[in-house]
Structure 1
Amino acid sequence: MKATCIVTALLIITAITALGQNSELKKEQIQSIQKLVNSFKANNKTKIVDVIDYPLRREYPLKDVKDKNDFLQRFDDIFDRQFIDRVAESKISDWSEVGWRGIMLDNGTLWIDDNGKIMTVNYQSPKEKQLLAYAIQADKNQLPKSLQNFEKPLYLLFTKNYKIRIDEKSEGIYRYAAWKIKKQKSEPDIIIENGVLEFQGSGGNHTITFKNDGYTYTVSINELGTVDTPDATLEVSKQEKILLTEGGKIKRN
């Protein structure tokens, strides 16, 4: 996929981390990889969709793949010939164990667990790129004019009191827009430009921070956490005094 800078950064962090990991694969892991590779060599769609960890995430605002039937309908859009051939022709030396994250092909094109279950696909076919462009345009069309100028949407999340959008206007340039849920109007209550993205460690957790009239709005995206950790957290502060903290749920299609 034409990754957003967030996805690209995650892959770079993961690849760097992998260099420090013991990439020597266990016998059982090698067997799982070989079984998966053989399914791709045979182009056996039935076997491949059986080893997906659903839902399989796709780049927002594309719909995630919810189950086996859904994947069978979208298989050729996601797994084109180039991707199938890459997995089918891969050697064991192309796969690396990256600690608790799992096992990756190349620098994270494909991620599986120890049992060969596909967890993440960071490849995007030309067809899926086209579908993504259509989805982004449809997303723009349903927004007020004040919010239609962006390259791609990153997050749509809901806290107890707010609906929040974060869009990437151009590479590395982020915009925050928020609505008070009870008001239910099309124009946002606030728009803040020029957010700053920062990663916390190598696990994927990151923050996007926006400053406006002495106030700081920090949206934390929690890729890792406990079962009680929210998808995201909104924190509003002024002069280092926290005025508001609300957990939020990220909406995915």
Structure 2
Amino acid sequence: MTMKSILVLLSILIITGTTVFGQDSTLKEEQIQSIEKLIRVFKTKSKRKIADLVYYPLRREYPLKDVKHKNDFIRRFDDIFDRALIDLVAKSKIDDWSEVGWRGIMLENGILWISDEGKIMTVNYQSPREKQLLVHAIQDNRNQLPKSLQQFNKPLYLIFTKHYKIRIDKKADGIYRYAAWKIRQAKSEPDIIVENGVLEFHGSGGNHTITFKNNAYTYAVSIIEIGSTDTPDAILEVLKDGKTILTEDGDIKRN
């Protein structure tokens, strides 16, 4: 599995972590052995041993920084794996784990995802400490913006295309907001702000599009969670009176 494939899979697992799929609860013998090994390691509570069972980078909720490598994981271990989560894994039974097709193996309803080899791919859990760190990270993110963009509940995406920097936020009232800057213009205020985004998912893989309408113009930002190694992170399509006038691939900047 390539690094691109792993990152794509991790994104899907984060998005779908609390969803119950039509799953086959029958685990293969080698999967059971991987789970049992993971449980034994968690019983030791050894940060280093657990760190050896992680796929890196380990995604954290944006704008928290992803865990880049083993030393970073050990440094941030207590923020992510508090006693409640460690005990949950260490005391789990085989019946608490389920195979979910190509997505991997999940604990309970997706609080933790591992590969067939027992490598931790996704942690859909936030300790009280990490929740507080997220609050601070969001506030730091907000403070870096012009006042016209400081009112939001959750930052979602920062995307760079060939000609534009795009920011998508979710406001407290559930409205999705689009802001864009021309890359070669060194100014803090965006060139455009649109606050009527509509989210639409495509299938169960996590791919989705957020569409914003502004008079004759439509801005459609597609987020590609599952695709080939050549698939971009995102695609911007701009339409005028229903006709496409611009399409650009985009890279999502996480941290």
Letter in 1 for 2:155: P
The offset of 1:251, in angstroms, is 0.3
Identify which of 34, 37, 40 aligns with 2:39: 37
Q: Is the Cα contact below 8 Å between 2:14 and 2:122 reproduced in 1?
A: no
Structure 1 residues 217 and 205 mapped into 2: Cα distance closer, same or farther (>3 Å)? same
Distance in 2 (CA, whole Å) between partners of 1:41 and 1:9 is 28
Equivalent in 94, 97, 100 of residue 98 of structure 1: 100
Q: What is the aligned partner in structure 2 of residue 48 from structure 1? A: 50
Give, in whole Å, the separation in 2 of the partners of 1:117 and 1:194: 40
Deviation, structure 1 residue 152:
1.3
1:3 is aligned to none
Q: What is the CA deviation profile of residues 193-242 of structure 1, one whole-angstrom value per residue up to 9, with x for unaligned ones?
A: 02111111111111111110121111111110001100011111123211
The runs of 5 or more residues in structure 1 that have no matched partner are: 1-5
In 2, Cα distance between equivalents of 1:107 and 1:171 = 27
2:222 to 220, 223, 234: 220
Aligned residue in 2 for 1:66: 68
- Two-structure CA RMSD over aligned residues (Å): 1.5
Residue-by-residue CA offset, 1:148-171 (whole Å, 9 max, x unaligned)? 000110000100000000001125
Q: Secondary structure, in 3 states, of the residue corresponding to 2:177?
A: strand
8 Å Cα contact 2:15-2:206 kept in structure 1: no
State the TM-score, normalized to the length of structure 2: 0.92
Counterpart in 2 of 1:176? 178
Distance across 2 between alignment mates of 1:149 and 1:46: 41
Say which of 193, 199, 204 aligns to 2:201: 199
Partner residue in 2 for 1:160: 162
Structure 2 counterpart of 1:10, one-letter code = T
Stretch moving more, 165-174 or 125-134:
165-174
Aligned length: 244
TM-score for the superposition, normalised by structure 1: 0.93
